[in-house]
Amino acid sequence: MKLLQAIKRDYLEILPPAIFFFIAFTLILITKRLILSEYGISWSGFGSAVIGAVMIGKVVLIVDKLPFVNRFTDRQLIYTASWKCLIYFLAALLLQYLDPLVHSLIKHESFLEANRRFMTETVWPHFWLIQIWLAVLFFVYCAMRELVRAIGKEKVMGMFFGGQTL
C-alpha cells in the first residue's frame, strides 16, 4: 500500500513539470518543423517532446529531493527561482551528457571512447540551442512555481481562471 502511495505521490509531482515542458517542447518542435518546411524538408519529432518532457519532469522530481535546493526560501523570489533554475539546468545538462555516454558504454566501449564519440558526434550548435531553451524554460518554470508557492495555489488558480480578482 505504501508503494502505491509513493508511486501516486511521485506521479502527481512529476505531472506539472512534464505538462509544462511538453507544451514548451511541442511549441519548439512546431517552430522547427515550420522553419524546415520553408526549405522543403519534412520532419516530425513529436515523440522527442514527450520523452524530453518526462525526462525533465524526472529531473525536477529528483532535484527537488536534494537537501540544498531550498537554500534561499527566506529571500526574494528571484533568488530562489534563479538558484533552482541553475540546479535543474545543471542536472539536465548532466543527463544530456550521460544519456549518449551510457548508450555507447552499453556497446562495450571504454569510457574514453564513449566520451570521444559524444564529443565528435554531437551537433554542437543544436546542443547549445537546446541548452539555451532549457535555461529559459527552467527559469520561467521556476519563477512561476515560486510565485505559486508564495501566493498560494488557490489564489493563483482564481486569478487565472476566475473567481478571484487582483
Q: Are 55 and 19 spatial neighbours (Cβ–Cβ below 8 Å)?
A: no
Sorted by where each begins, the domain ranges of the chain are: 1-65, 71-166
Q: Are 23 and 57 spatial neighbours (Cβ–Cβ below 8 Å)?
A: no
C-alpha dist (Å) from residue 51 to 9, 37, 62: 20, 23, 16
150: nearest Cα among 60, 69, 81 = 81
**pTM (2 decimals)?**
0.83
24: nearest Cα among 147, 157, 130, 160 = 130
CA–CA separation, 81 and 157 (whole Å): 20
Dihedral of CA atoms 114, 117, 119, 122 in degrees, nearest 10, equals -120
Q: In tens digits, what is the pLDDT along the chain, a chain of 166 residues?
A: 788 888 888 888 899 999 999 999 888 888 888 888 888 887 777 788 888 898 999 999 999 999 999 888 889 999 999 999 999 999 999 998 998 888 888 887 788 888 888 899 988 998 898 899 999 999 999 999 999 999 999 999 898 888 755 5
Q: According to the model, what pLDDT value does residue 164 have?
A: 59
Q: According to the model, what pLDDT value does residue 43 have?
A: 73
Residue 116 C-alpha cell reads as 570521444
Residues comprising the chain, all counted: 166
Q: According to the model, what pLDDT value does residue 165 have?
A: 56
Three-state SS at 160: helix
Q: According to the model, what pLDDT value does residue 148 have?
A: 93
